[in-house]
Chain A
Amino acid sequence: MATITTQSIPQTKTTPAEKRRLLLLMGPPVLALLLFFLLPLGVMALYTFQTGTLGGEMSWSLETYGRFWENTALHRLLWRSTIVSFQTSLWCILLSYPIAYYLVFRAGDRRMTLLTLIIIPAWTSYLLRILAWKLILGTEGLLNTFLLWAGWIDEPSPILLFSKTAVIVTLVYVWVPFVALPIFAALERMDKRLLEAAADLGSPPWYSFLRITLPLSLPGVLAGFLSVFIPTLGEYVTPLLVGGVNGIMYGNLIQDQFVRALNWPLGSLMSLVMLVALLPLFFLFRKSDQVLQ
């Protein structure tokens, strides 16, 4: 993902006319962000201090906090979701690093075209790509019936759909191209002469990779990792479609509080806890992303 660097353009003193232009240009976007993004988050934070059922009597209290604190099942689920997101992000890195490496060091002039080729599916429908995996992984699904038909297995294996593994496989599929991008960017801007210098000094290629290429690509790896980890921690659509009971994530319980349990204060608090936990990572992501510019 691209970011805009804030290194300022040398600028003369702003005139009143320029101030007016700036106000007219920035006013609407700032207002939209305030009204429909920051205000909702703020109201959600306030909502955590409410108790009572929706539509009924609501009052201010810390009861929701107490309930969240005591509900260790929620904490365990948050931890489990963290592990799922972590594993997903890790797999994304492992799978896409060789891709980025291949494109930058071996693919020559075709690298931009090839990069676009693997990015295209990533920009297509999120829901449909999850759906495709639901069809592939099911007991009656494409993978099982294909393997049966081809004679590679004797009976359908039900382990794939409705499991944590199914969630991770699907999430990796959905996110992996986005991870290739920042690693590609990091490798692309690396000074390739360093490798030649190292080789001239007798360094074998694997050693040059460990000491030069890998360290220099770490900002890209970090940006890629976080660009998956942050959004997937609250994922609920993928577990809903392919996760089943065993693949349930924290996001599903948040959704549940709003849709079925109608405990909006608890849902707000769960959502707030996750957001607050993610904020430091978000700023780390911004930093690592800016290094790539």
Chain B
Amino acid sequence: MINADKPQRKFSLSLGATYFALFTLFMYLPIALLVIFSFNDSPTLTFPLNGFTLKWYKALWENQELVTAVSNSLLVGVLSSLVATALGTMAALGVIRFDFRGKTLFLSVAAMPLVIPAVVMGVAMLIVFTHVGIPLTLWTVGIGHVIINAPYAMLIVAARLAGFEEHVEEAAMDLGADYWATLWRVTLPMSAPALAAAFLSSFTTSLDEFAVTFFLVGSDTTLPVYLYSQLRFPSRLPLVVTLAAIMMVISVFIVIVVEKLRKMAN
């Protein structure tokens, strides 16, 4: 590179690194605070810290409503993520391996749930479900989550499919496998890390989705809905923070796994 401005470069390197470090701190500090205060032995969330306790974790463990909310969330999360991954994979196969009329239109419409405000999707689905007479249950929540997650699942799987040569599939077909056998025995296994990444990222999104869920949930509770309902009671705040800390740690863990899988996939 250029020699003339070397001293300056060195300075800007440290300036850039400092800014990056501060930025990273800004990103992680709120999360760390949740975790720290979940162990704090005080009914209020204020400094200074009051000493270490596990009593909030114990109280959570004994909370029956919470157990219901967690199992509801897990049920919706697993089922909706399976469907979202399946739909996303089918769409990715169609879009990457075939040419058809309306592909651009399909991709545009499929990208919309990724960015349009959640409130629009929530109320639109609420109106339809109410009019058709479908009661609001975990099923309607699940449908909402599928629409939110399938487009993203499609992008993850499509990136993988675009990454490997069609020749492998052609070779399998030349050796006598029909299209579906090739798909099942060659294409999908080769895309396994991407499929897993798509499933897990759908799952984490589903676990903490609130903005759309709020309109579709009826009288059931999911984990975020329960968490939100507890915010009204100041005395429950330590419990909320503890629950938040657990959810946060789990989702950070899943996100790291997803990132690893996506790296493997591409």
Contact = CB atoms under 8 A, between A and B. Distances in A.
B263 to A, nearest CB: 8
A44 to B, nearest CB: 4
B265 interface: no
A231 B115 contact: yes
Interface stretch (B22-30, B55-63, B64-72, B188-196): B22-30
Contact of B27 (A3, A135, A177, A241): A177
Nearest to B262: A116
B33 A127 contact: no
Interface in A98-155: 98-99, 101-103, 106-107, 114, 116-129, 131-136, 140-142, 145-146, 148-149
Given A40-B128, A120-B255, A133-B30, A125 B118 contact: no
A128 B99 contact: no
Contacts of A251: 117, 119
Contacts of A18: 98
Contacts of A274: 117, 120
A1 interface: yes
Given A29-B150, A124-B255, A258-B123, A145 B47 contact: yes
A32 interface: yes
A132 B94 contact: no
A84 B100 CA distance: 41
Contacts of A119: 259
A170 to B, nearest CB: 9
B8 interface: yes
Contacts, number: 263
A234 B231 contact: no
Contact of A236 (B19, B114, B119): B119
B147 to A, nearest CB: 5
Contacts of A118: 23-24, 27
Interface stretch (A68-76, A181-189, A281-289): A281-289
Contact of B104 (A6, A120, A140): A6
A38 B93 CA distance: 22
A125 B247 contact: yes
B138 interface: no
A29 B90 contact: yes
A269 B258 CA distance: 39
Nearest to A103: B20
A114 B20 contact: yes
Interface string B126-162: 1110010000000000011011001000110011001
Interface string A169-180: 000010011000
Nearest to A289: B111
A32 B1 contact: no
A21 B12 CA distance: 56
A151 B52 CA distance: 24
B256 interface: yes
B215 interface: yes
B20 A4 contact: no
A273 B41 CA distance: 49
B155 A271 contact: no
Nearest to B244: A128
A131 B28 contact: no
A26 B207 CA distance: 27
Given A102-B20, A116-B259, A233-B117, A22 B100 contact: yes
Nearest to B100: A22
A271 B123 contact: yes
A205 interface: yes
A267 B106 contact: no
30 contacts: A1-B155, A3-B155, A25-B90, A29-B87, A29-B90, A29-B154, A32-B87, A33-B106, A40-B125, A43-B124, A43-B131, A99-B19, A102-B16, A103-B20, A116-B259, A123-B258, A124-B204, A124-B208, A124-B255, A126-B211, A132-B31, A136-B33, A142-B46, A199-B2, A232-B117, A234-B118, A235-B117, A241-B231, A255-B123, A282-B116
Interface of B: 1-2, 4-5, 8, 12-13, 16-17, 19-20, 23-24, 26-28, 30-31, 33-34, 37, 44-48, 86-88, 90-91, 93-100, 103-104, 106-121, 123-128, 131, 143-144, 146-147, 150, 154-155, 158-159, 162, 179, 201, 204, 207-211, 214-215, 224, 227-228, 231, 237, 240-241, 244, 247-248, 251-252, 255-256, 258-259
Interface of A: 1-4, 6, 8-9, 11, 14, 17-18, 21-22, 25-26, 28-30, 32-33, 36-41, 43-44, 47, 95, 98-99, 101-103, 106-107, 114, 116-129, 131-136, 140-142, 145-146, 148-149, 173, 176-177, 196, 199, 205, 226-227, 230-237, 241, 251, 254-255, 258, 264, 267-268, 271, 274-275, 278, 282-283, 285-286
